[in-house]
Chain A
Amino acid sequence: MIRRLLPHPALSLAVALIWLLLVNRFAWGSLVFALALGLVIPIVTEPYWPGRARLRSPLRILGYLGIVIHDIVKANIDVARIVLFMPKADLRPCWLVVPLELTAPEAVAALMGTITLTPGTVSCDLAEDGSALLVHALHCPDPAATVDEIKTRYEARLKEIFR
């Protein structure tokens, strides 16, 4: 019964919260409407959400976000320095292959997003069988070290968050 009414509790919560933030001013009427939206939208869109992200330790998401935001700020300064001051001849762009241990689609999506948002790397493609990521790096004198950093800094943490 509760599963049919609330097929996706996390989505319901997110929809309600986003509605309240959109309204931008707290009122009881908006809260009621937010809860109604949070109830109706997941039921109507249920066929489009066949899988569920299964989390092992949701609280670690906060720590992960902290690391990602810190790295985004650092990456911006690094990339700005490369763009402004590095002579074109010294630039070493390269392709990296990151073998994946993650299997959950949500976890891989989170990893790809993180890679694109941080230090001079853009995730470009996924192997057909989901076993590796193709990443383009703006400047990497040492490809093995960059792959290692992605695996230990982000993938290891995501492996603890997702089951």
Chain B
Amino acid sequence: MMALADILIAALLVAGGVFGLVGAWGLVRLPDMMTRLHGPTKAATLGVGSVLIASMAFFWVHHDHLSWHELLIGLFLFLTAPITGLYIGKAHMHLSWKPEELPQPPSGAEWATWGKGAETSPIVTVPDDAPGRE
């Protein structure tokens, strides 16, 4: 029984490591900034998730007490990961894209990045050789 649990914990740790590695590899391999954003926001969530489940299982099996910290780490990670992704994406749009290169909202409004509030931002023009463009 103990051995079975250990095998399961080891398998989860290996899976976590593999998904973390794939996320990092995606960062290296994918062609441009926007696609690179996908590697870490996805593969990393399941990678960290598996390690957290393995940690909970380990303390439960070997130390007979259920540890709740992993649940909190998972919760905070899943709350913050989309916000980081959103802000990296917005900063990149601001620096390297022009509004007319993107599809427009059907209502005729601007995307918030280029809306009225953006006019007072120090970055308003996009140089043609801006980084990260394909």
Contact = CB atoms under 8 A, between A and B. Distances in A.
B37 A83 contact: no
Contact of A95 (B29, B79, B102): B102
Range of interface residues on chain A?
A: 35 or more
A18 interface: yes
A128 B116 contact: yes
Interface residues of B, number: 49
For the residues of B in contact with A, the DSSP-based class is: helix
A154 to B, nearest CB: 13
Given A113-B79, A117-B82, A131-B106, A122 B43 contact: no
Contacts of B22: 79-80, 83-84
B103 to A, nearest CB: 5
B111 A128 contact: yes
Contact of A136 (B71, B89, B107, B115): B89
A76 to B, nearest CB: 4
Contacts of B103: 95-97, 134
A2 interface: no
B1 interface: no
A127 B107 contact: yes
A134 B102 contact: yes
Given A125-B113, A128-B109, A131-B106, A116 B82 contact: yes
B82 A91 contact: no
Contacts of A75: 42
Interface in A86-105: 88, 91, 93, 95-97, 99
A125 B71 contact: no
Nearest to A21: B68
A24 B70 CA distance: 10
B3 interface: no
A14 to B, nearest CB: 10
B56 to A, nearest CB: 12
29 contacts: A21-B69, A24-B69, A25-B65, A73-B46, A76-B19, A76-B46, A83-B22, A84-B25, A91-B30, A91-B35, A93-B32, A95-B102, A97-B103, A99-B105, A112-B86, A117-B41, A117-B42, A122-B37, A122-B41, A124-B86, A125-B112, A126-B111, A127-B105, A127-B107, A127-B109, A132-B106, A132-B107, A134-B102, A138-B38
Given A80-B43, A120-B38, 15 more contacts: A20-B68, A73-B46, A79-B22, A95-B103, A116-B86, A122-B34, A123-B85, A125-B89, A125-B113, A126-B112, A127-B109, A129-B107, A131-B109, A132-B106, A138-B30
Interface of B: 19, 22-23, 25-26, 29-32, 34-35, 37-39, 41-43, 45-46, 49, 65, 67-69, 71-72, 78-79, 81-83, 85-86, 89-90, 93, 102-107, 109-113, 115-116
